[in-house]
Amino acid sequence: MLKHLIGNKVTSINIKLLMYKSLLKPIWTYGLQLWGNAKKSNLNKIQAFQNMTLRKIVNAPPYISNHTLHIDCNLKTIHDEAKHFYKKFHHRLSTHSNPLIKNLSSLTIPGNPPRRLKRNWCRDLFTIP
């Protein structure tokens, strides 16, 4: 049903973007501050979904780049959204009244154990460009 509304050429682009932002975006942004640092292949699947949806919304031809689509629609990429959500989450942790929750906002782990695997942590979103 939503596919027909987004692909409809009669509906204005502003209405289609509003439907995307209010119906589809909350689905993939739920818990983004925690899973936003997942493997690149998983994030690429969500980014591909967003790119395909934006193409259907604006009826863009294949030679228009995804970067241009994001700028024209005034939307962030998945990685940029994850960084934004984690920064807000980290700020809320650091200003919390409970001292145990406030300790969760530290950028380093106590004892700072060495990493044997190349795992990414949520707090790495501060340092990744």
Alpha-carbon distance of 103 to 65, in angstroms, equals 43
For the record, the structure tokens of 88 come out as: 């807000």
For the record, the structure tokens of 53 come out as: 């949806």
Contact predicate 23/1, CB 8 Å: no
- For 28-58, the pLDDT digits (tens) are 888 887 776 778 888 899 999 999 999 999 9
End-to-end CA separation in angstroms for the chain:
38
- For 65-122, the pLDDT digits (tens) are 999 999 999 999 998 888 888 888 878 888 888 888 777 776 666 656 666 666 666 6
For the record, the structure tokens of 123 come out as: 């707090």
Short-list 9, 17, 11, 12, CA closest to 59: 9
